[in-house]
Structure 1
Amino acid sequence: MRLKPWAAVAAAVPLAAGCVAGPAAGPARASSGTSQSSSAESPPARATASRTARPPKVPPGTTASWLVFDRQRGKFVATRHAHRKYRSASVIKILIAIDFLESRRTVSAADARLLKIMLRESDDDAASTFWDRGGKGAIVTRMARKLRLPDTTPPPASKPGFWGYATLSAHDVVRTYRYLLDTASPRVRDTILGHLRAATPCGSDGFDQAFGIPDGVPGRKAVKQGWSGFGLTPPVRCDARTQSASISLVASRAADARVPDYGRPVLYTTGLVGKDERYVMAVLTAHPAGSAWRGSVNRITKLTAGLYRSVT
């Protein structure tokens, strides 16, 4: 989940048999109260909750965007720079999964395992396997068109293997979750959200992915995290298992002005939170160049906790 996308490493994923159990059933689908084509798809310049709590203050030097949609009320309740573009990092794995599942009726045991570790553990090699098969950037083009994601674009043509260099925004991430909840077939919805509800505390690369929503928001949740720019290895290994090597070093040699926030580490926390998954939340952050992992994690977790309190 760092900056992870290199097509050349895709074949490295071992396809272990037997690890293909389907995700646990989640809560019943709740209506958002609006269709995908409704006016609620475009957040107002200042969406506010009917509460007295104030949105969190962004620390100096940190860039932050967020968007929160209240499915019960059918409206956006908090927004900040919702259309600001970021490099996608591992959040793009949701679109990779949608594209893969919607292109076929059945999934092999080996592919079911790859989907599981890609979504639960944010495994990079699994993502690269699906990226190659789906035509690389063509996946993003198809999904952006189908889901009507105005800020989502493929990686630069000079770097077709770097799926983490696609662009997205808080608006497009929230819209993607709403597509899964309200439009996607039950098979696609239950597979993807089931895995996100069972996201592991540790990524397959040894990074701790429990920042933001997992640590800052109480209760059950479905989450997809993203991080990039923090080096080859975690400062403190979250888990001794490491299934894939970091591609951050390769990415660091491929600077491109078309990649948002290139040279700055980024952390993203996205998902469904609250009772009956009432809120769809996306918090995207870019931190000062050279920022340490722990300080950056603390910043996004504090922002996320404050944002959740402000809308509940």
Structure 2
Amino acid sequence: MRTSARGGLAVVLRWCLLVAVLAGLTAAPARAAAPPAGPPGAPGEVRAAATAVEVPPGVTAGVAVFDRQTGTFTEQLNPRLRVRSASVVKLLIALDHLWNRGPGYTLAADDRARFDSMLRSSDDASASYYWSQNGGSAIVDRMVSRLGLADTAGPPAGYPGYWGYTALSAADTVRIYRYLLDSAPAPVRTLVMGDLRQSTRCGADGFDQRFGIPASFEGPWAVKQGWSGFGDTGSCSNTAAAAAGGGTSTTGGAAAGLGAADIDLTQRALHSTGTVGTGDRTIVAVFTLQPTNTSFGAAYTNLNRLVRSLNVPGGVRPAGTWFGTWGTDVRVRADATTASTALTRLPAGVEVLIRCEKQGQRVEVPPYVNDWWAYLPLYGGYITNIYVQSPDDQLPGVPLC
């Protein structure tokens, strides 16, 4: 029994926690004006009808979703909102590095390793290397001119080395992906999109990258994520290296006299951009600014809820039920036992998709005891049900594995 040690007080506290969680899940979000549709995120659902973008309370969002098959936007919410790009600017750094290289050009082995790490694992040290070698803000200026970007500008005055402070919008991000998919030389497209399709679960700085697009849709997808303001090192990987240079994870204070690049450097930023569906059918660009007291797990959950509300043609929803979690550094394991391999660690308090559950090793986290384990398809492993926000050992409505 999960509540055996605390008696009546534990039961009351546990149910209070559940009520609070359910209240948070059902709180009315801010909405963009658009026709309503059915509930988002049904298992296996392919979204087709228009819907309203659901923006969690306290979150500022810029959203653009472009269907390449019809040549139309299916979602736009503040598409020209200019925010600090965090690691999304690595798309521009990569394209600039490859510009005018010629159709037969190939990256040297060390350059290729650095390039792949920057795009797949969002490695800041690699981005800082290219930023320094290729002219800093001149990279952004060149790409603005080449791609006809309307809202993009280099870092504000006083932050020349902070490439993550480059101003970017959802609309310009769609334009970047459209160039990459429709106009870029084939070798450039193959290299860049190939890396985005191989986005790693953990970033080089130890932050979990499987938020937004990867959390909300089955493959195929390709993503370039961004985060800023959550500290220098996450807990996703036990061997994560601290971020070097650049400043994707740098909070930064509000600066005076930013001129044309006047952007918010104070709130926490979490962005998910990329493509969804067969043939990269739909381009998705979602930028969020969240209050400075928002934990990474809470920001991750907010972004996931927003992305799940979007009309993304060709996007298939994964089967399962979303639950809140509690605890810090909760291990996701290869099987329902603490002796099995630890695949990763969850961001504290994040909401997770659970596909099924099964009985396994009896686990004790005083005062709780439970032998049921939940399978998380996003991570390909199990967590003990002790850390799932539910009053019972077994989870309601979740099938057996």
TM-score category, normalised to shorter length? 0.7 to 0.9
8 Å contact 1:125–1:244 — kept in the other structure? no
Instruction: State the Cα distance separating 1:158 from its structure 2 match.
Output: 1.9
Where does residue 70 of structure 2 map in the other structure? 73
Instruction: State the Cα distance separating 1:75 from its structure 2 match.
Output: 1.2
Q: How does 1:170-249 map to 2 (within 5 A)?
A: 170-234=170-234, 237-245=235-243
- 1:113 and 1:277 map into 2 onto residues whose CA distance is 25
- 1:200 and 1:296 map into 2 onto residues whose CA distance is 19
Runs of 5+ unmatched residues, structure 2: 1-32, 38-46, 316-401
Instruction: State the Cα distance separating 1:157 from its structure 2 match.
Output: 3.3
Where does residue 96 of structure 2 map in the other structure? 99
Amino acid in the other structure paired with 1:215? A
- 1:69 and 1:292 map into 2 onto residues whose CA distance is 30
CA offsets per residue over residues 198-229 of structure 1, 9 Å max, x none? 11011011100100001012221000000001
8 Å contact 1:53–1:310 — kept in the other structure? no
Instruction: State the Cα distance separating 1:93 from its structure 2 match.
Output: 0.2
Aligned to 1:117, the other structure's residue is in SS state: helix
Where does residue 14 of structure 1 map in the other structure? none
Name the structure with the higher strand share.
2
Residue 293 (structure 2) aligned to one of 279, 290, 293: 290
Percentage of pairs with the same residue: 44
CA offsets per residue over residues 33-56 of structure 1, 9 Å max, x none? xxxxxxxxxxxx989999545223
Instruction: State the Cα distance separating 1:144 from its structure 2 match.
Output: 0.6
Aligned CA-pair RMSD: 2.5
- 1:118 and 1:81 map into 2 onto residues whose CA distance is 28
Cα distance change, pair 310–198 in 1 and its aligned pair in 2 (3 A): closer
Aligned to 2:209, the other structure's residue is in SS state: coil
Query: Where does structure 1 differ by over 6 angstroms across 4 or more consecutive aligned residues?
Result: 45-50
Q: How does 1:55-134 map to 2 (within 5 A)?
A: 55-105=52-102, 106=105, 107-134=107-134
Aligned to 1:285, the other structure's residue is in SS state: strand
Runs of 5+ unmatched residues, structure 1: 1-44
Amino acid in the other structure paired with 2:276? V
Higher relative contact order (CA 8 A, sep 6+): 1
Aligned to 1:93, the other structure's residue is in SS state: helix
Where does residue 281 of structure 2 map in the other structure? 278
Amino acid in the other structure paired with 1:264? Q
Aligned to 1:206, the other structure's residue is in SS state: coil
Aligned to 1:65, the other structure's residue is in SS state: strand
- 1:131 and 1:104 map into 2 onto residues whose CA distance is 17
**Is 1:306 aligned to 2:309, yes or no?**
yes
Kindly name which structure, 1 or 2, has the bigger radius of gyration based on alpha carbons. Answer: 2
CA offsets per residue over residues 158-188 of structure 1, 9 Å max, x none? 2111001110000010100000011110111
Instruction: State the Cα distance separating 1:263 from its structure 2 match.
Output: 1.2
- 2:77 and 2:157 map into 1 onto residues whose CA distance is 30
- 2:214 and 2:125 map into 1 onto residues whose CA distance is 24
Normalising by structure 2, we get a TM-score of 0.62
Aligned to 1:282, the other structure's residue is in SS state: strand
Normalising by structure 1, we get a TM-score of 0.79
Instruction: State the Cα distance separating 1:245 from its structure 2 match.
Output: 3.0
8 Å contact 2:66–2:73 — kept in the other structure? yes
Aligned to 1:307, the other structure's residue is in SS state: coil
Count of aligned pairs: 266
Where does residue 348 of structure 2 map in the other structure? none
